[in-house]
Structure 1
Amino acid sequence: MNKGVVIVGAGHGGVSLASALRAQEYTGKITLLSDEADYPYHRPPLSKAFISSDSADDEKKLLLEQESFYDEKQIDLRLGVRVTAIDTANQRVALSHGEALAYEHLILATGARARTLPLPGNDLQGIETLRTLADARRIRQNLANCQAVVVVGGGFIGLELAVTARQLGKQVTVLETASRIMERSVAPEVSEFVTQKHRAKGMTIELNACVEAFIGEQRRVSGVRCCSGERPADLVIVGAGGIANSELAQAAGIECGNGILVDAQLRTSAPNVFAIGDCASHEHAYAGGARVRLESIQNANDQARLVAQVICGSEARYQAVPWFWSDQGEVKLQMVGLSIGRTDCVTRGDPAQGRFSVFHYREQTLIAVDSINQPLEHIQSRKLLAGGISPDKALIADTRVDLKSLLG
């Protein structure tokens, strides 16, 4: 008897996989497990539109699918259910309420959790991270009752939240320990441009910041202590990256290492067990074959569709071009590829005009492109990378040359 597909995690990847299986005309049982009480929802708006709005309809707009979708597609969605153990030998998972669930194929879409900082005072009220809808609700409530916000971390989530808080009229300070914001993700030119844009809007951005502790009064945070002094805060948001939720897999004897290790078909070391999305570590062609763990909706959705194909008999392998985005007020940042190992950058356009792209090369090979307010160039850059096309750097720098003409 076909025991069906069990999906652990109902984020973008988990829901996309369930939907893709039905689109592939998979007729077996599909069980979708979520340890959250909320119906599956879109995550990008949590740091922007949802935080800044007080509309009662906002949560309905977040839904990945209407509640009726799961019944219509015969997807057994179980909310508030946690998987406590995986028995790979007998192909069963143990659930938090005591039930054991058999599977033919198990997909781990367990995502990642926000990293916390092991600093003195980190248990004070008013120190938040953002990963879930429940987190966003707390931050929205806190923002309504505070004036000074300190964001620790100048990555995408931290900056998106900082911009939202600033748009709400809050005093905002971003503390970044590196020498520039978004250091691991974008070119120096992009970091500099975005820094200046945010500072022009009244945001304080401190680079090379040394954060020592969180300070508070009556169990609530009142500021952040740095090597150079204290920064007052009614609300502190920590944006220090994510940690893969791989403990469940590791306890089951599945190979892990900065995530759950998977092959080109997203298979883990255990038979009939796959991992997708933020928790999956895979060898990526666009990282020079190095293992990477990508936290993006595109990656989760593309991997979900690939696994659906594999379950239905395909021999397809994961080769999608990675792309990302971050909306920060007037700055629309779009990225494609991975700039790991870049040796050279070429700027196309004039940053002073507020619209430009930076092309990353490894020697003569194009490996990534960062675009600021250039959606068409982003789309064309995705096509260049997908086609393995590395235009001459002089052609890229010349804005008179249409990128479309370089696609061949």
Structure 2
Amino acid sequence: MSNNIVIVGAGECGANAALALREFGYDGSVILVGNEPTAPYERPTLTKGISQLGRPTIDLRTLIERKVEVKLGTTATQIDPFRNVIVMDDGGAIEFERALLATGSSPRRLPSIPISKRVSYIRTLDDALNFWPRIKNGTKLAVLGAGLIGLEVAAVANTLGADVRVFEAATRIMRRSVPDEIAVALHDIHTKKGVSIHCGVGLAEVEERADCIRVHLEDYASFEAEFVLVAVGCVPSVELAKSAGIPIENGIAVNCFLQTSNPSIYAAGDCCSFPFPALAGRRVRLESWRSARELGIIAATNMLGGNRSVDIVPWFWSDQYEITLQVAGIHDDKHQIVRRDLSPDSFVVFGLDDEGRVAAASGIGPGTPRTIKIAERLISRAETISEHHLRNREIDLRRFL
């Protein structure tokens, strides 16, 4: 068997895993396979407008200097788990001793949406390059989905002068990501900027016409737009794992060491789900830039014989207009919610579990990053703090560290 480690997926997770293997002293062959023709880049830039597109994850020269063999524009189509071989779309095959699946995810498609030049999904650099040049002053844009991607695009499009309407099936924006108070504050910010947000509305049909596209809602209302952005979540890319007979459970099922049911194959990033200790072992799948990077490094550690379980605190950020949102941990509807006001336009919402431990924190406004950084450490240590101490901004939370 070849002394190869093959990484399928050249995004944030895969590229950092490849580099970590070298940093940890692995001197065998490392092959990084990416289905896009471009060097690894940061996906968060895709929703920030045309000026920020394509910022590299890791410079391609750095990977080459570290003797990582990079195969771009190539798709892995199948894994033969008996021979430890990955079959490529060009007919070639790569043997491996160990493999890491960092295949990421793809946008969730809606069957009621026609395939059209007026309908966009943003997941790749090409998607963004096709979308952003169309958004100008006066452009009528309908955004389907009020999650992170939908709202970031809405904010940038609004800044460019577009007439933006956002449609969300849930009763509020960012239903899966932040607690109610944060969602209300973000909703108000968008509304004051001129974005029209409609929550609790179902999509009936999207009808393409000669010069526009018409969005029909289940309540019989309709809205005419020049372009539609669909941002209703992502689906983990699991086809390669399925071909190897690996179980799927909201993504590629891995254990706390990111190892699949096949001991030679690992998975990391937003293609996989793993048991999360802070949620009593419930499986989670993380869809953030930093989590992808950190999980790739953990996978690299364990492929080299390490024994590091997933010990990260999930974290993500979002810039919408001049406002920064940061979230640490995973909010749960069962959490006790405690608000800490930092200033008239800045606050943090903590989520406490049944034992009173800090399990999550979300902050909005200019004063929040420092507090969220402290919250990350509180979450990682499972610290118990009273509601009084969390609410009182005169009390420095660092004392509990």
Interval containing the TM-score (normalised by the shorter chain) = over 0.9
1:92–1:103: 8 Å Cα contact kept in structure 2?
yes
2-side partners of 1:192 and 1:68: how far apart? 45
* Residue in structure 2 matched with residue 111 of structure 1 by the alignment: 104
SS at match of 1:336: strand
In the TM superposition, what whole-angstrom CA distance separates every residue of 1:193-244 from its partner, at most 9, and x where no partner exists? 00001100111011112221112213x6422111242111111001100000
Matched AA of 1:383: R
In the TM superposition, what whole-angstrom CA distance separates every residue of 1:57-103 from its partner, at most 9, and x where no partner exists? x55x6112223222211111111101111011110011111111100
Query: Of 77, 81, 99, which residue of structure 2 is paired with 1:84?
Result: 77
* Residue in structure 1 matched with residue 285 of structure 2 by the alignment: 293
Instruction: Structure 1 unaligned segments of length 5 or more: list them.
Output: none
1:126–1:142: 8 Å Cα contact kept in structure 2?
no
1-side partners of 2:153 and 2:169: how far apart? 17
- 1:129-148 counterparts in 2 under 5 A? 129-144=121-136, 147-148=139-140
Matched AA of 1:320: I
- 1:188-267 counterparts in 2 under 5 A? 188-218=180-210, 221-226=212-217, 227-267=219-259
* Residue in structure 2 matched with residue 360 of structure 1 by the alignment: 351
After TM superposition, give the deviation of residue 4 of structure 1 in Å. 1.1
1:127–1:221: 8 Å Cα contact kept in structure 2?
no
After TM superposition, give the deviation of residue 330 of structure 1 in Å. 1.9
Query: Of 275, 278, 298, which residue of structure 1 is paired with 2:270?
Result: 278
2-side partners of 1:96 and 1:324: how far apart? 34
* Residue in structure 1 matched with residue 92 of structure 2 by the alignment: 99
In the TM superposition, what whole-angstrom CA distance separates every residue of 1:255-300 from its partner, at most 9, and x where no partner exists? 1121000011100011210000000110001222100111112221
Query: Please, which moves more after superposition, 337-346 or 110-119?
Result: 337-346
After TM superposition, give the deviation of residue 350 of structure 1 in Å. 6.1
2-side partners of 1:201 and 1:146: how far apart? 15
Query: Please, which moves more after superposition, 377-386 or 300-309?
Result: 300-309
1:36–1:79: 8 Å Cα contact kept in structure 2?
yes
Matched AA of 2:73: G
Answering whether residue 364 of structure 2 is matched by residue 382 of structure 1, we say: no
Instruction: Say if 1:39 and 1:145 are closer, same or farther in 2 by CA, change over 3 A.
Output: farther
After TM superposition, give the deviation of residue 3 of structure 1 in Å. 2.4
Answering whether residue 305 of structure 2 is matched by residue 309 of structure 1, we say: no
1:342–1:367: 8 Å Cα contact kept in structure 2?
no
SS at match of 1:196: helix
Aligned residues: 397
1-side partners of 2:17 and 2:239: how far apart? 22
Instruction: Structure 2 unaligned segments of length 5 or more: list them.
Output: none
After TM superposition, give the deviation of residue 123 of structure 1 in Å. 1.9
In the TM superposition, what whole-angstrom CA distance separates every residue of 1:349-408 from its partner, at most 9, and x where no partner exists? 067x2100001122323211001121100100001011110210111011111111122x
2-side partners of 1:207 and 1:310: how far apart? 44
RMSD between superposed Cα atoms in Å = 1.5
SS at match of 2:273: strand
1:47–1:136: 8 Å Cα contact kept in structure 2?
yes
1:2–1:28: 8 Å Cα contact kept in structure 2?
no
* Residue in structure 1 matched with residue 331 of structure 2 by the alignment: 339
* Residue in structure 1 matched with residue 40 of structure 2 by the alignment: 40
Query: Please, which moves more after superposition, 242-251 or 7-16?
Result: 242-251
* TM-score, scaled relative to structure 2: 0.96
2:257–2:309: 8 Å Cα contact kept in structure 1?
yes
Answering whether residue 393 of structure 2 is matched by residue 404 of structure 1, we say: no
Query: Please, which moves more after superposition, 193-202 or 360-369?
Result: 360-369
1-side partners of 2:60 and 2:2: how far apart? 26
1-side partners of 2:373 and 2:137: how far apart? 41
2-side partners of 1:182 and 1:391: how far apart? 27
Query: Please, which moves more after superposition, 391-400 or 63-72?
Result: 63-72
2:137–2:160: 8 Å Cα contact kept in structure 1?
no
1:52–1:168: 8 Å Cα contact kept in structure 2?
no
2-side partners of 1:70 and 1:386: how far apart? 32
SS at match of 1:21: helix
2-side partners of 1:172 and 1:332: how far apart? 20
Answering whether residue 10 of structure 2 is matched by residue 10 of structure 1, we say: yes
* Residue in structure 2 matched with residue 372 of structure 1 by the alignment: 364
SS at match of 2:135: helix
* Residue in structure 2 matched with residue 149 of structure 1 by the alignment: 141
2:342–2:393: 8 Å Cα contact kept in structure 1?
no
Q: Identity percentage over the alignment? A: 32
